[in-house]
Amino acid sequence: MKAEIPPCPWSRLEQQDEELHLEQFLSFQVVRLAHALQRVSAREYLDAQGLTVSDWRVLALVRSCGPVQFAEVAQRSSLDKAQVSRTVKNLRERGLLQAEGDAEHAQRIVLSVTPAGKRAHAQVLPRAAKAQAQLLRTLAPADREALWRCVHQLQAQVRDHESKPSRSHQE
């Protein structure tokens, strides 16, 4: 079943007087989609393992990176450090992650996946990959390629913008 796609409000942005309403903001649409994807992910393949989306993101990152410092997990996961800290604590309490290093300095702690964490990861990963592929197959191959390019262009633009001093610091 295909949903009706409303007209694109972004097609005339070159015109100076064109204003977007909040629900037309790119960030609003991306966050809305991300939250919907997280709800589907939880229902489809995380709930059975008792994992939250944050749990899965951290567990999968640590598993794919090998032993990794807490700070790198925070940076790569796009979660704030407090959320990563709570998630790591939860995963450690459940025996899915272990931490070694300086408990006084969380940034220096090195995280690794326990055997139980590896089993949980092995249970979730194939289901997660299948669900993601199924979702992407709703787009035509050319649209998937265009989406990939657009996402990477926007990420590069945001990284470039983040590397510049903010206007409030320039004044």
Q: Which domains are seen in the chain, by residue range?
A: 41-132 (1.10.10.10)
At 97, is the secondary structure helix, strand, or coil?
A: strand
Rounded Cα–Cα distance for residues 83 and 74 (Å) = 9
pLDDT confidence of residue 43: 85
At 95, is the secondary structure helix, strand, or coil?
A: coil
Whether the predicted model's global pTM rises above the 0.95 cut: no
pLDDT confidence of residue 148: 96
Rounded Cα–Cα distance for residues 123 and 95 (Å) = 16
pLDDT in tens, the chain (171 residues): 567 888 888 887 877 666 888 999 999 999 999 999 888 888 888 888 899 999 999 999 999 998 999 889 988 988 888 999 999 999 999 999 999 986 666 668 899 999 999 999 999 999 999 989 999 999 999 999 999 999 999 999 998 888 888 766 555
pLDDT confidence of residue 20: 87
The edge-to-edge listing of strands for the beta sheet with 110-113 is 68-69, 110-113, 97-100
Phi/psi at 99 (5° precision)? -130, 140
At 98, is the secondary structure helix, strand, or coil?
A: strand
